[in-house]
Amino acid sequence: MRKVWPLRLKKWLANMCGIVGYTGKDEALPFLIDGLMTLEYRGYDSAGVALLGEKGKIEQIKCKGRVAALAELCKKFDTTPTTGIAHTRWATHGEPSDTNAHPHADCFGTLSVVHNGIIENYQELRAELEAAGHNFKSTTDTEVIAHLVEENLKREAKGDLLLALQLATSRMVGSWAIAVIKVDAPHELYVARSGSPLVLATTDTGAYAASDVTALAGITSHVINLEDGQLAHLSYDATRAKGEQARIEVFESDGALVKKPDTFDIDWDASAATMGGYPDFMAKEIAEQPEAIRRLLKDRLTKEGIRLDELNISPKEIAAIDRIYIVACGTSYHVGLIARTLIETWAKIPVVVEQASEFNYEEVLVTQHTLCVIITQSGETADTLASARKMHAAGAKVLAITNVIGSSAAREADAVVYVQAGPEVSVASTKAYTAQMVASVLLALFLAEKTGMMGPREVENKFEELQRVPDLIEEVLTRAWQDEAATPAFTDAQSALFLGRSFGATTAAEGALKLKEISYLHAEAYPAGEMKHGPIALIDNGFPVVVVCPDDHVRYKTISNIEEVKARGATVITLATDNDQKIAQLSDYLLLVPPAPEYYTPIIGVVHLQMLARFVALARGCDIDKPRNLAKSVTVE
């Protein structure tokens, strides 16, 4: 066994921002604003747009705040430019402000830049450029890119914008997705990518760029995925032959033309990323969970057993697995805890679950038979991707469980299981979480079957039970009134405690996280047996305590914990199984779930805690889909 010390990993840091760009025959602004609205979950500290008109002038409009504020400002435009770039920001370098909002220009306003990422050596580059006479207006790292491109255009590039951008990226350290427009290139757009996602597409009417496929879903189903280190030139020329008017040329970092860029198809339509009559995306995505799980389970059981063709791991390799590392962040980390119990119980393979942000700086024990499973909704989580690279370098195989086709996690892993939840727009993950748990169940069953620890009939029985889960979730959805009824317990609270045992401890942790994320109410989760080792000191009259206590093998132990907090005046909200009279007597509020196998209860029960968090957030006047200080895709290390 090889002991691997922490690697000096490249910092894949990034502003969690949204980028869109367009050049074509239509007005650019409607697509740019719609694209920013779609991508606002990636960042909403500030927003801006740069439009390139026919008269050789770039107009920039940007402001602190939401995209809606930018859209109001843009109503003042009386021109119809057909080339532009836009950006919605989550700040890392430089406070949110009108000045620090993207786009950023060079000294003379001849070019405009938007950027998703962090330039780690920006201070060094800025000092160099200021010494050369460049005048900076913001405190962001991004503005360095505009001035660096400007300097290159004057010197080595001699006016060649592609070369100037290529030279700029060769000087930069960090990560980036960049889009640039220039006054003397009215139907052209230049982009570059390293570490931060960027996808491109063409239609008969134009060429498009975006940091997320959701912005392009209403435009096309076929996209180009720009690879790390690559650049691209997007252009539109009405004089070209039909079908060739919009063109994308992709180049390697050394300027060599890429003949066959990486492409993939978007497998959902644009309506999947709209609210469709729901009051917010979180409500919609909670309601979509049964269908998402049914989609994932379709055709997964065959005569040969659980079908996970995506794994591409031979039976011999499976039999040789000596341990599994599961690495994830936030909500996905909670999925990993559930997966560990299932895999160890059913497949008898040792599993270690690690938070990626800590894992990347620890030593790990790896052999050629070690499997690493990374779990990430977006497939772009910086810490998780760094963990995958670390394990690859150590010789382990990497499996990704993710929701986004063409994501960095999907491309870098040896195998990938897509959870097929469809676009998840609300920052607080709901349907991706339950779908990831179902994917983990499938993986555990697959490993148990292939290692001979579970026979075909038992696998079939457990799969049939799993197929009932969507129906049981639909039943829970009809009980949302129970969660709304419990809301008064939290509206005036300063904190809340979530308790559970076994699977329930993890469900409690996810429930506490949801409440914190969207209601801004402090919540702490503890294994119920650990409560007496400190947290019980918090309990006084009216203190809200949420207890996860379904009908499982630790129910009676958990009941004793309910009695302990009840005796100290707590307001008790219990997640319990139907017709549990004992718990009903002890609880102030009940969140009831229908009977189910205890290893599937976490998938069903957490839906109550999602709805509870949402109702509490509404009562406290919070923004459900865009909680403060958070962004959907956490690409900051």
Torsion of CA 132, 137, 139, 144, to 10 degrees: -40
Neighbours of 243 (CB within 10 A): 8
> How many angstroms separate the CA atoms of 270 and 214, rounded?
7
Residues 6+ apart with CB under 8 A from 254: none
Catalytic residue among 17, 74, 372, 549: 17
Structure tokens at 461: 């029985």
The angle formed by the CA atoms of residues 548, 552 and 553, to the nearest 5 degrees, is: 120
Reply yes or no on whether 17 is catalytic.
Answer: yes
Residues 6+ apart with CB under 8 A from 298: none
Give how far Cα 228 sits from Cα of 169, 225, 273, 314, Å: 11, 10, 27, 30
> How many angstroms separate the CA atoms of 189 and 454, rounded?
56
> What does DSSP assign to residue 257?
B
For residue 103, cis peptide bond before it (omega within 30 degrees of 0): yes
- What are the CB-based long-range contacts (under 8 Å, 24+) for 235-241? 235/23, 235/187, 235/188, 235/189, 235/207, 236/23, 236/24, 236/25, 236/82, 236/83, 236/187, 236/206, 236/207, 237/187, 238/25
Catalytic residue among 64, 397, 566, 632: 632
Quickly list H helices, 172-305: 281-287, 289-297
Tell me the catalytic residues.
17, 632
